[in-house]
Amino acid sequence: MGSILFKLFFLGIFLAISYYILYLQTEKYESKSTVMVKDLSQAQSVSPLGALLSVGNSASMQDSKLLEVYIKSEEMYELIDNEFNLTLYYTSSAVDKWNRLSRESDLPMFEANMANLLLKYHDDLSIVYDEPSSTLSIGFAHANPKIAQQIVKKIIIHAGKTLNVFEKKSSEIVLKFLKKQEKEKYNLFLSSVKDLLAYQNKNKTFNPQIDIESKSSILAGLESQLIQKEVEYNSKLQYMNPKAPEMILFFSNINHIKRSIKKVKNKISGSKGKKELNVNLSDFELLKSKVDFNKEIYGQILLRLEETTVLVRQNTKNLIVISKASLADAYSYPNKTKDTFSVFIIILFLYGVLSMIFQIIKDHKD
């Protein structure tokens, strides 16, 4: 008799839970939509389809995960609640008694507070990010299939707007930093230009390299002239007296050319106690390279500043809808067959375990 009652007890539990699953549990219809975050500020592929299907983008993953956090937030719940009365829905008879929240419940888990409302919202919400395609699947389950579809559409609209708000705030922070950098780099560039001008004024030269080249050209001319004069002088020595006035003047000209050559060489190679062109050339090149470097950095900052200014003014990130929110023609939850079978397995397991325990106790007493 006891064995029969024991079996009837478990059978009763199974039938009660199965009845709840099959006839009482709220049937929910899920609507799904697939979207992709597209950054219009990035360089696009030649093919529009190729640009649309570009994958492996870490920035896209970051944006999608950010959207997931926002969609699950209390702020998003309040936006959806204002339009579709989710709080009223979760506390109404549209939801079965065991899943319904109440303002008057004494049990914390059934109390209609924000924490429990968010839990119910999260239970009905599904967000799945697909890394290979960089797409985000957004779904919502509701007792009314049309409301489920409308909620998914609204989630996408609000998420798209918020995505650009996040992007603009981020760009504004970067813009503020770049403006500060622009002033610093401009002052640095201006300082290097002033240093170069001061050096040029101090040494009375525009470019030591140009001065060296011009003086080298003069030196080559003087040396060529010296060779010609020496050849001519030696030729005249064959038939003229070296002490003749003409020869003395000729020899004096040769010495003058030699002194000029020595003077030019000293200016090129440097002379004792002075900074000559070859010594100054390295200083000049260093100052000039600083000017060029600071000019390049300043130019890059200006370019980035302009790009960021455009980003602040535009909506550069958009949610591209790959598949529209579906309208379910059959309930998605609960899976009655699966849930009933799962309950059967669990109860059968519990029955077997308890039967074994009771049998062991009985054998032990005997």
Q: What is the pLDDT of residues 152-164, one digit of tens each?
A: 999 999 998 888 8
Q: Which residues of 279-288 are buried (b: 16+ CB within 10 A; e: fewer)?
A: ebbeebeebe
User: Would you state the pLDDT for residue 51?
Assistant: 45
Task: Let me know if 121 is exposed, middle or buried by CB neighbors in 10 A (0-12, 13-18, 19+).
Answer: buried
Return the pLDDT at 53: 46
Query: How high is the pLDDT of residue 162?
Result: 87
pLDDT tens-digit series, residues 253-295: 888 878 887 877 776 665 544 445 555 667 777 888 888 888 8
Asked whether 317 and 39 are in contact (CB, 8 A), the reply is: yes
Q: Residue 43: its pLDDT value, please? A: 46
Q: How far apart are CA 286 and CA 328, in angstroms?
A: 73
pLDDT recorded at residue 47: 42
pLDDT at 1: 60
**What pLDDT is stored for residue 52 in this prediction?**
44
Provide the pLDDT for residue 273: 41
Residues of the chain with pLDDT under 50: 43-56, 272-275
Q: Tell me the residue type at 26.
A: T
Would you state the pLDDT for residue 114? 94
pTM (2 d.p.): 0.64
Check: CB of residue 166 under 8 Å from CB of residue 322.
no
Neighbours of 6 (CB within 10 A): 14
Q: What pLDDT, on a 0 to 100 scale, did the predictor assign at position 327?
A: 94
| pLDDT of 68 | 93
What pLDDT, on the 0 to 100 scale, is given for residue 49? Answer: 43
